[in-house]
Amino acid sequence: MLRDTKLAETTTLPGLLRHWAQTQPDRLAFREKDLGVWQRFTYRDYYEHAKDFAYGLLALGVEPGDFLAVASENTPEWMFSDLAIQALGGACIGIYPTNPWPELRYILEHSRSRIVVCGDQEQTDKVFDAIKYEGELPHLEKIICVDMKGLKHYPRDMLMSFEEVSELGRSKRAEYGDRFERSIDALTPDDPAIIVYTSGTTGKPKGAMLSHHGLIWGALRLSERHKVDETNWEVLCYLPLCHVAERLCSTVMQLVNGSTVNFAESIDAVGQNLREIAPSGFLGVPRIWEKLQYAVIVRLKDATPLQQKVVARALELGRPIARRRLENGGRFASLRDRLVYALLWLICFRPLQKSMGLDRARTMLCGGASISSDVLEYFWAIGLRVYQVYGMTELSGISHSQYPGHTALGDSGPPLETYDQKIAEDGEILVRSPAVFPGYLRNEEATAAAVVDGWMHTGDVGVIGPDGSIRITDRKKDLIITSGGKNITPSLIENRMKDSIYIREAVLIGERRNYLTALIQVDYETVGKWAQEKGLAYTTFKSLSGLPEVRALIEGEIEKVNREFSRVENVRRFDLLTKELDHDDGEVTATMKVRRAVVESKFKDQIDAMYAA
C-alpha cells in the first residue's frame, strides 16, 4: 500500500498512476493473454499508453468535463481509456458488453458522452444500431474500436481504431509538451472519476458519479482491513469493469497498492486462468464460488474410487471444523481441530486448493449477492477463508467486510474504518462515509432521496449484530405483503431455494395473494448432468425443464426449504420456466438481478395458473 496514506487521500487516480510510473516504473502493472502467452505491461507502459491516448483525445477536441464511455470486455485498453479521460478532467462511463443496443443508447444519450470506445465489431455494431434505429446521438462524435477485425468496410467518418488515436497522440507529444502532467496537477480529489449506471431493476438506470476521493478512500480502508499491499494483492480481473466492485478491487486497489492486475480471457476461462496465475487476492460473486465448487465435484467423478472416498471422508471431517471456525471468528476452536485440519490439508485439501488456482490466495472476498452457507462452509473446510462483503455503487464499492474475529455465517462483517451505520425506523440500513457518492448525474431529485444529512439510504433492510456486523434480510422494495397482511421477506426464501445446485433462479410470488408460489429456473448445467446420469433424453433448456422427472427433482428441493419456514412462508405451488431469464429480453439486469415487474408481467399466464382454483 502507498506508505504515504495522506498523499493517497489527497490525490487522484491519474496522480497515483504517475506516482508509480515515476517511483517504480518497471513494476508489473498488467498481464493480458495474447495467442496463449501472457503479455506484460509495466507501470511505465501503463502511464505512457494512457498519455498517448489522452493526447489523441485532445487532438480530437476533448475538453475538461467531457465524458468517454467504454463498451468492451476487460483489456488494458479499457484502463488506458479510463485513466486518459480522467487525466484530462473528464470521467469514464462503463457499459456492460452484454447490454443490448437500446440500453447502450440510453446511457450514451443520458450521459452525453462525446466518445465511445468499443472492444470489437459486436460493440461497434450496437452503437451504429442505436444511431440507425433511433436517430443520431447529438453529443457522440467518435467511435473508437480496439479490435478492428471485420470493420474494414465500415464508414470511417465517425470510426477510428484505438491504435490510430494513440498514434495521433504520439505525433502530438512535441506540440503538447507537459500538458498531460499539468492536467493531472489541475485535478481535485472531489472531481468525478467514473460514472456507474445502476442496474435499473425498478426503473431507468441512474448514473452514480463517483469521485477520485471516494474510490481511493474505499480502497485504502479495504486494504487496511485485510492488510493488503503490493505483495499480496495480485488479482484476476474477470467481472465487467463497469461493475463497481471489480473496479474497486482490481484497478483502484491496484493504484493504491502498486499491485498487478491480470485480465481473464473470458468469464468461461476464469477457472483455467486462476490455475495459470494463482493470484494472491480474489473477489468472487456467489455464482463464481459455486462454479469453482461444482468443478471439483465434476472432476472427482473421473477420479479413482479410493480418491473419491478420501475426499468425501476429508470433507466429512473438515466441515464441522469449518463450522466451528466460522462461529469462533475464523480461529480453530481447539488444538484437536487444528491438528486434524493440518493432516487433512496435507492429504487432501492442499491439492484441491491448487486445482482451483487458489493455493496462494491470502485475501478472498465474496460479494454482490447472498451466498449459500453450504458453499461458504465448503471453502472454509478446505482451508480457503472466504470473507463476505457488502457494498453498493453509491458507497464507491465495498463498505463492510468480514475479517478474522468477525466471520459468522450470513453476516457481511462490520463497516470499514471511518464508516458509520445505523438502522432507520423502517429497518433500512443507513451508511455515512467520506466514500458516499456526490450524486446522480442530472438527477437532483433522486440524489436528495438517496442521501439525507450525509446518510446514504441503501434500500436494504437488515440488522446490526453486537460486534457491528451487518446482516441483510431483504431489499426494502421487495417485501411481499400477502392478502392476509403477512409481511414476507422473499430473498430469504429465494436464496434458500437457490442454495440447491439444481436451482439457478427463483422468483417468489405472493403480493396480495392468499399463498406463496414461485417461478423456478433450473440450472441447465447441473440438472443437465443429472438427467444424463439418469438416462433421460433432452435437447434444449425447454425440453429439459419439461421432463416430469426434473419437476419431481425440483419439488423435492422446495420441500426441503419449506421445512425451514413457517406455514405461511411455504411455497405452495411452483412452475418451471421454459427459458432462461435473459438480459437481452429485459428480464434481468447486466449483473443478473431479476427485474421482478418484468418477470411477473411476461410470465403472467404461468403465475395465474398457479393461483387458479
pLDDT tens digit sequence for 591-602? 778 888 889 899
Q: Which CATH class is domain 282-475?
A: alpha beta
11 pLDDT higher than 80 = yes
The predicted structure's pLDDT at residue 197: 94
Where do runs of H (alpha helix) occur along 24-72? Answer: 43-59
* Structure confidence at residue 4 as a pLDDT band (50, 70, 90): low
Radius of gyration of the chain (CA): 25
**In the chain, what is the straight-line distance between the N-terminal and C-terminal CA atoms, in Å?**
64
CATH, domain range 5-212: 3.40.50.12780
Exposure string for 467-496, b = 16+ CB within 10 A, e = fewer: eebbbbbbbbebbbebeeeeebbbbbbbbb
Q: Where in the chain is the domain with CATH 3.40.50.12780?
A: 5-212, 282-475
**Range with lowest mean pLDDT among 80-89, 297-306, 531-540:** 297-306
Most confident of 181-185, 307-311, 506-510: 181-185
pLDDT at 370 over 80: no
Higher-confidence position of 355 and 482: 355
Task: Please tell me whether residue 261 adopts helix, strand or coil conformation.
Answer: strand
Average pLDDT over residues 540-551: 95
pTM over 0.75: yes
pLDDT (0 to 100) of residue 468: 96
* 54 within 8 A of 77, measured Cβ to Cβ: no
What pLDDT is attached to residue 544? 96
Q: pLDDT band for position 613 (50/70/90)?
A: low
Residue 74: pLDDT band (50, 70, 90) is very high
Find the mean pLDDT for residues 39-64: 98
Question: pLDDT digits over 250-289, tens only?
Answer: 999 999 999 999 999 998 899 999 999 999 999 998 889 9
Percentage of the chain modeled with pLDDT above 70: 98
Q: Of residues 448 and 489, which shows the higher confidence score?
A: 448
Q: Which residues pair with 115 in a beta bridge?
A: 68, 142
Nearest 10 degrees: Cα torsion 306, 310, 313, 319: -150
Q: Give the dihedral sign, CA 536/542/548/551.
A: positive
Are 395 and 427 a contacting pair, CB within 8 Å? no
Is the pLDDT confidence value at 359 over 80?
yes
**Element containing residue 295 per DSSP (H, E):** helix 286-300
The average pLDDT across 195-212 equals 86
The arithmetic mean of pLDDT across residues 499-526, rounded, is: 92
**Least trusted range by pLDDT, from 130-144, 320-334, 383-397:** 130-144
| Average predicted confidence (pLDDT) for the chain | 93
Which of the four CATH numbers 1.10.10.10, 3.30.300.30, 3.40.630.150, 3.30.390.30 does domain 479-610 have? 3.30.300.30
pLDDT confidence of residue 201: 60
CA nearest to 505, candidates 575, 433, 580: 580
More confident residue, 564 or 160: 160
Share of the chain above pLDDT 90, in %: 78
pLDDT of residue 3: 58
List the helix and strand counts (H, then E) for the chain: 25, 26
pLDDT tens per residue, range 335-344: 999 999 999 9
- Order of strands, edge to edge, in the sheet holding 363-366? 281-284, 363-366, 386-392, 397-401
Query: pLDDT tens-digit profile of 382-427?
Result: 999 999 999 999 999 999 999 999 999 989 999 999 999 999 998 9
Can you tell me the mean pLDDT for 171-198?
96
Distance CA 581, CA 584 (A): 9
pLDDT at position 373 is 87
CATH 3.30.300.30 placement within the chain = 479-610
Residue with cell 464508516: 419
The pairs formed by 404-407 with CB atoms below 8 angstroms and a separation of 24 or more are 404/329, 404/330, 404/331, 405/329, 405/330, 405/331, 405/467, 406/329, 406/467, 406/468, 406/469, 407/325, 407/326, 407/329, 407/330
> Is there a contact between 99 and 71 (Cβ–Cβ < 8 Å)?
yes
